[in-house]
Amino acid sequence: MKSYFALFLIATSAALLITPLVRRMCERFKLLDVPADDRRVHKFGIPRLGGVAIYISMGLALATLPLISNLLTQSLRTYYTTDLLIALVPATLVLLLGIYDDLRGTNATVKFLCLGLIAALFYWMGGRIEVLAIPFVGAVHLPATVGFFVTVFWLVGIANAFNLIDGMDGLAPGAALFSSIVILVISLAQENPLMIVVSLVLCGALAGFLRYNFNPASIFLGDSGALFVGFLLAALAVLGTQKATTAVAVLTPILAFGLPVVDTGVTMARRLVGRRPIFQGDSEHIHHMLLARGWSQRRVVLILYAVCAVFGLLAALFTKTSSPQTGFVLFVIAVAVIIAVGHLRYHEVDELRAGMMRTVGDRRIRVANNIRLRRASLSLSQASTLNELFEAISLLLEFEEFAYANLHLGQEGRAEINERAFQTAPQRGGDGKLDFRNGRIFWSWQRAGVTEKMVTGSSSFWCFQLPLTSESGEWGWMNFYRPIDGPPLLLNMNYLTSSFRVELTDATERALKPFADRVNETHIPLSVTAGKIAG
């Protein structure tokens, strides 16, 4: 136990001393994270190679092991030297990749390809996921090919998850510290000296670094630190669970990395729903959404620390639970996460919720309204008079999705023809009111308690205009009015703008064209009359 305490103390002290040196070096050589977009929370350049400080601090602590001779160091040298190399060699390569990204920058494709190759090296060296435990199903032994892809996906996914949440002072190192503590507790329960040593040293390095990274931060993890810490934790989870029960081997690591996993899952889902590139950065991560509520950085970080602590406690408890209990509790956690994410005001979540309501709650009404619209279109296809046309439109408006509607019929510059048609139409006009205005036939319908004066020109209603045009010309238009603050429109607008508009246009043309033909028959063209007089 004294050796464990000494290792933690060395790692913490080293981080407290080395981090300021790395910060000064970054300031001297202008290795700063300068805010260049809205995704950055900070306002000025901050040193960004914090991962180097954590790596050196861990290295110094681990370098003291050969200088100590006791049962712990003897067991490590005898049984665990290979496992230590399996974890540290790929993690070192990830650190170098992150440093290159911090200094020179690289695109997401190259970064993920390199992470995938490093994860493949980890698998080749012996770090493998070979068994998965599915709640209510049991242990599933994976074929070699499947195990390879699962291992690579796990390592790359967790490394990127910690990189994604590294957008606020102290968040990523704090979340990594909680994950390290969970792995440490599980390692103590399993009596795994290697896991205890590495996770303990990582805890010390993170704790010392957090002193300078907590708000207001004077140095950032950078990609070097976030990718290195995430990859190392994922690797430790794989190595530590290779000798554990299958129930621990799957669920415990997922819960240990609860916050990064949830944030990454929500981010990927949002971008898929919004049809945006999955690897395109944005400012809608969980911590961004909490900041948008007006909370301070410290408050957001402390709340997310509490979330990490809850996930960590559950992960530790799962080491002693049975499979049915595990499945039930995991279901409860998933529901709680979904409810919590639903309160973060994501546009994608709101749209999915509205879509669910449209599918489940309003589906029957929407179907009934669309059927009425189809029936109105069919009636219009058979209408040949204005009275039949008005009756068909009344079928559309009877379900009162609209508050007010008016119809302007007639061709421009042909007021005489339009008036003759108006005089032959019934004055009631179906369920609406009929009038002759500005040289056109004017028909209107209104819901009970609504007047034309109340609706037209008001800022409390929106208007949708349906033009009535065909190959033979323009025959008028129809306006639909709805309250701006009213419920959603339970009607397929495509039906309204396609089949209904076409049938209404054709019906108007059939109703008005006979009057135009009569005028043409009773009026002799001026050119013909002049010719007869001249003769």
Q: What is the pLDDT of residues 191-204, one digit of tens each?
A: 888 889 999 999 99
Report the range out of 73-77, 134-138, 196-200 with the highest average pLDDT.
Answer: 196-200
pLDDT of residue 134: 65
pLDDT of residue 490: 84
Q: Report the percent of the chain where pLDDT is more than 70.
A: 86
pLDDT per residue over 327-361, tens digit each?
676 777 778 888 888 778 777 777 766 666 666 66
SS3 state at 48: coil
pLDDT of residue 357: 61
Which among 175, 319, 326 has a CA at the least distance from the CA of 260? 175
pLDDT per residue over 146-193, tens digit each?
999 999 999 999 999 999 999 889 999 999 999 999 999 988 888 888
Which CATH architecture describes the domain 384-522? Answer: 2-Layer Sandwich (3.30)
What predicted TM-score, i.e. pTM, was given to this entire model?
0.72
Rg (CA), the chain: 36
Residue 97 scores a pLDDT above 90: yes
pLDDT of residue 532: 35
pLDDT per residue over 204-253, tens digit each?
999 999 999 998 899 999 999 999 999 999 999 888 876 554 444 567 78
Q: Report the percent of the chain where pLDDT is more than 90.
A: 45
Q: Are 46 and 30 in contact (CB under 8 A)?
A: no
| Domain spans of the chain, in order of start | 2-355, 384-522
Instruction: Report residue 441: phi and psi, to 5°.
Output: -75, 130
Higher pLDDT pick, 54 / 136? 54
Query: Mean pLDDT for the chain?
Result: 85
Burial level of 172, CB count in 10 A (0-12/13-18/19+)? Answer: buried
Residue 411 scores a pLDDT above 90: no
Residue 465 scores a pLDDT above 90: yes
Say how far apart CA 82 and CA 78 lie, in whole Å.
9
Q: How many CB atoms lie within 10 A of CB 49?
A: 26
